[in-house]
Structure 1
Amino acid sequence: MSRLIPPVEHKQNTRVGAPEWREAAQAKMRKARRLTNRCGQEAVTMWQPKDSVWDPHVARHLRRAAYIQPWRFQVEMIKGGSTLEKPPPGEGVTLWRSKMKPPAWHARLPLPLERDARAQQTAELVHAHARGARLTAARLDHAQQQINGQVRLLLRQREATDHRLSEVRKGLLINQQSVKLRGYRPKSEKVPDKADSMLTWEKEELKNMKRKMEKDMEKSEAMLKTLASCRNTLAFCGKERLQAVDLMNKPLDKVLKLAGRHSWVNLSRAQTPSTLGQKTPPPDPLGTYPPECATALYEAKRLLMESKDTLQEMAKNEEDIREQQQQIRDHVCASLAQKMRETTELKEKMNMTLGLMRGTIHRCTKFNQEMYITRGLIKGPLSKNHLETREKLDRPLVRVYQRHVGTQLSEAARLAQGTDKLQRHISHVEKNLEELLATQEKLNCSLHCKKTGHDVDYNVVRLRLRQQHPHVYYQQAQALVNDWDPPTPPPRK
């Protein structure tokens, strides 16, 4: 068995070379060794990622185990005592057979396919920018569509509000017609009543409605101008964004669908508790979502919410005014109908009073005529030839009786007194007849006035019902007010 022969120990004094010469050679060798180790390590390190450099504070024989330890699977305890192995998180290829997951390799030197890799990265960057620009354009286009829909709804509501405003204005014209027509009643029927108060109240209420609806029309007009300006801004921004996606053939609504969102202003659908789609990116002046697009979308969202409130308010006001106007019409027509019923009742009572008065006048006239006949009989005949014997005061019996003192007969005095009393009674009856006839004339005049007032109120109600028909437009009612002038009835004596 061979044995190692220990090297011969040369004593210091047996060396021939000088110590300086030996130290200089050893220094050169140490320097060459350090340079060799450094260059070899740097040559290997340049092909390794930064995190793959071994820790210098770990022992050399333990560096590999410490470097590979994070790659191994992690063991987790599960309820029940069993275990579960999971790969470590992060990027990289999972090696299930060896139960390891090395991190992704990132070299620090350009590889032979560096040009192709950089071209592919550039293409991916361009495609990502185009996709982002297309998604922003889809957002702008969808917001523009929602603005257009809101504009259409606002225009439709403006048409309904304008129609209701024309109905209110037509109601004012009808009120003016009613007041003008009721002005042709007789003077005795022009006593202010509740119907006049109702017409005045209707006029004030209609004026308030008119002012309210005119404010709604002005507000909606301003909102339409703002929406049109926002729509133009969205169209301009969308056109600018679409300049980068002319070569990408894909519908914009499909882009929104792929992004997981159907509305970027959150108004056309109900809010969900958890949003599954992509979140809106922060504005970037150099990116695909510049601040002007963000401002346009925010303005569109604000205007949509504001216009939605405006639409609801306008619809509510239009419905309330329609119901209020109908109630006012019913109240006015009911008051006029009540006035007509009261006038009819008074007419019937006047007719009964006139009938009773007519009978009384006939009886008084007949009685007066009989009194005239009686007075004629009391006065006696107009000629002496018609005197009878019993009517003469110089007949024998009367002459004999008048010879005695104090025996004056009262025949002539009584006849004179009776004639005078009868004449006074006839005068009184004639005076009563004159009063009856005058009162009858007044009642006839009042009855005629009542009939005229009833006819006027009836014509007012009929005019209101005819003019309130939906087929009668504001221009027709206005022409009727301007051209219609009923003749004034002649004054009665």
Structure 2
Amino acid sequence: MSAAATLGLKMQVSPDTWKGASAHNMKLSQAIIARCDQGMRISRRTDPLPLLRDACIRESNDRIHAYVRATRAVVVQLRQKLVATNEEIKALTRGKEALERSLEHTRKDLALSRQSVELRGLRPSREKEPDAADLCLLEEQAHLLSSKRSLEVQLSKAQQQLQVLSLTRARLAAVLQERSRVTDLLCHSMSSTVAVSHFSSSSSQIFDRQRKVGFLPQSLVPGNERLQRSKSAQGSYGVQRSKSHSAPAPLHLSVIREETEGHRGSLGPKEFEEKQTYLDPYETFSPESRDSVQLASEAILKSQEIRRELRAAVDNKKLLQVSAHNTVNEGLTRKLAETITITQHLQVNAGQTSLAVHRARRCLETQEKGHGYLLGPESIANLTTRERLDRPLVKVYQRHPSTELPEAAHFAQV
């Protein structure tokens, strides 16, 4: 019985049809299972991840933070350039005021020179012949006219440059206001009490980081010669930022996929490299900002050159004016000394002439009186006895012959 039972168990009991159907069903099930696994693998590769929403939010926030911080760095640069423009306007205004004072003094000196020339024209006709003093006055007047024209040209340049700086400042202010619109939720602690060194180091790191991730162009990076700021302007706005608050780089979608490696199938290097996508942010240093900063830099450089020209023109004018004044004063002083000397000589000569006139007048009066004495009295009745020709002494003398006296002949000659 046991042998028969064992022999029965080893023999096939079910029919072949049922066995073939079962084998066909199992093969079909294995094919369905393989297709399902393949679909799940494809689904893991293509379907969104469960944390995609959080990853996208984090990536967007990081992108926003990086953009806002880069924009704040641009705002710092624009504010620095705005402060530098304001300081340049103040300096150029002071130079223009000094130039206006110098021009006013030149005009006064020119009016005084003209009055001096007109005053010397009132001399007597015999003294109107031009001399060295007149030549000095004419040379001074020509020099003052030339200085006046050159100063007016420099003043016109300064006024035009002030207008350019004013327009540049207005444009910088507008761009600064437009760039600051996205920094409302960001800390604005950029006080001037912060050390300049902290601002230099941290801002350089921020600019390098933003340039690497694509936020900033090379032209805005500190150290670039075209947009190099002065140390005085850097001291006005400083910023100190720790490493924990530095601007993070925007995330790649590939990095997100690497973090969720267990939820997707493996990809080849080339396929993975083709599928990764970089989220490029908008450029924070806009063309308008670049143009405004470039125009402000050019305007500041030109203004500095004009200020140097103004300072040189004022100094040169002072030196030449002092030299001309000294020459004119020396010439007029010599002319005055010569005039005083001639006046003194004329006064001495006039005194001597007056003395000669008095002597001649006394001599004439004496001669007239002596001539009167010689003529004698006008009437014979006024003759004294001793003056008469028939006085007793003469009559007694003429009693002898040949006793004629020459007295009568001498009187007749008078």
TM bucket (normalised to shorter chain) is 0.5 to 0.7
Query: Equivalents in 1 of 2:229, 2:147: separation in Å?
Result: 32
Deviations 1:381-439 (A, max 9, x none): 32334266687499766995499xxxx979737973xx5xxxxxxxxxxxxxxxxxxxx
Q: In the TM superposition, what are the counterparts of 1:71-470 in structure 2 within 5 Å?
A: 112-252=50-190, 257=200, 258-260=202-204, 261=222, 265-266=227-228, 268-269=230-231, 286-385=282-381, 386=383, 392=389, 400-401=401-402, 412=409, 416=413, 419=414
Contact 2:74 2:285 in 1 (8 A): yes
**1:381 partner SS:** coil
Query: Equivalents in 2 of 1:398, 1:305: separation in Å?
Result: 135
**2:372 partner SS:** helix
Query: Equivalents in 1 of 2:175, 2:281: separation in Å?
Result: 13
**2:183 partner SS:** coil
Q: How many residues align?
A: 305
Contact 2:113 2:141 in 1 (8 A): yes
Contact 1:285 1:291 in 2 (8 A): no
Amino acid at match of 1:234: L
Contact 2:63 2:281 in 1 (8 A): no
Alpha-carbon shift at residue 306 of structure 1 (Å): 0.4
**Could you say which structure has the higher helix fraction?**
2
Contact 2:389 2:408 in 1 (8 A): no
Deviations 1:43-100 (A, max 9, x none): 79x99xxxxxxxxxxxxxxxxxxxxxxxxxxxxxxxxxxxxxxxxxxxxxxxxxxxxx
Q: Which has the higher contact order (CA 8 A, sep 6+)?
A: 2
Alpha-carbon shift at residue 247 of structure 1 (Å): 0.8
Amino acid at match of 2:365: Q
Alpha-carbon shift at residue 285 of structure 1 (Å): 11
Query: Equivalents in 2 of 1:399, 1:341: separation in Å?
Result: 83
CA change 1:381–1:124 in 2 (3 A) is same
Query: Equivalents in 2 of 1:178, 1:302: separation in Å?
Result: 47
Deviations 1:334-361 (A, max 9, x none): 3333222222211211121122112212
Alpha-carbon shift at residue 150 of structure 1 (Å): 0.5
Cα root mean square deviation, aligned: 4.0
Alpha-carbon shift at residue 220 of structure 1 (Å): 0.7
Deviations 1:107-163 (A, max 9, x none): 999655333223222211111111221111211111111111100111111111111
TM-score, reference length from structure 1: 0.53
Alpha-carbon shift at residue 363 of structure 1 (Å): 1.5
Query: Equivalents in 2 of 1:285, 1:229: separation in Å?
Result: 31
Deviations 1:414-471 (A, max 9, x none): 973xx5xxxxxxxxxxxxxxxxxxxxxxxxxxxxxxxxxxxxxxxxxxxxxxxxxxxx
The equivalent residue for 1:104 is none
Query: Equivalents in 1 of 2:412, 2:365: separation in Å?
Result: 20
The equivalent residue for 1:279 is none
Query: Equivalents in 1 of 2:129, 2:352: separation in Å?
Result: 27
Query: Equivalents in 1 of 2:190, 2:320: separation in Å?
Result: 47
More deviation in 186-195 or 347-356? Answer: 186-195
Contact 1:139 1:256 in 2 (8 A): no
Amino acid at match of 1:238: L
Amino acid at match of 1:219: K
The equivalent residue for 1:430 is none
**1:151 partner SS:** helix
Q: In the TM superposition, what are the counterparts of 1:475-486 in structure 2 within 5 Å?
A: none
Alpha-carbon shift at residue 178 of structure 1 (Å): 2.9
CA change 1:413–1:232 in 2 (3 A) is same
CA change 1:244–1:402 in 2 (3 A) is same
CA change 1:204–1:390 in 2 (3 A) is same
Deviations 1:218-258 (A, max 9, x none): 11111011111111111111111111111101235779542
Amino acid at match of 1:236: A
Query: Equivalents in 2 of 1:211, 1:328: separation in Å?
Result: 17
The equivalent residue for 2:14 is none
CA change 1:112–1:185 in 2 (3 A) is same
CA change 1:123–1:387 in 2 (3 A) is same
Contact 1:381 1:387 in 2 (8 A): no
CA change 1:156–1:335 in 2 (3 A) is same
Alpha-carbon shift at residue 309 of structure 1 (Å): 0.4
Query: Equivalents in 2 of 1:285, 1:126: separation in Å?
Result: 9
Amino acid at match of 1:147: T
- Structure 1: state its 5+ residue gaps: 1-28, 48-106, 271-283, 420-493
Contact 2:168 2:292 in 1 (8 A): yes
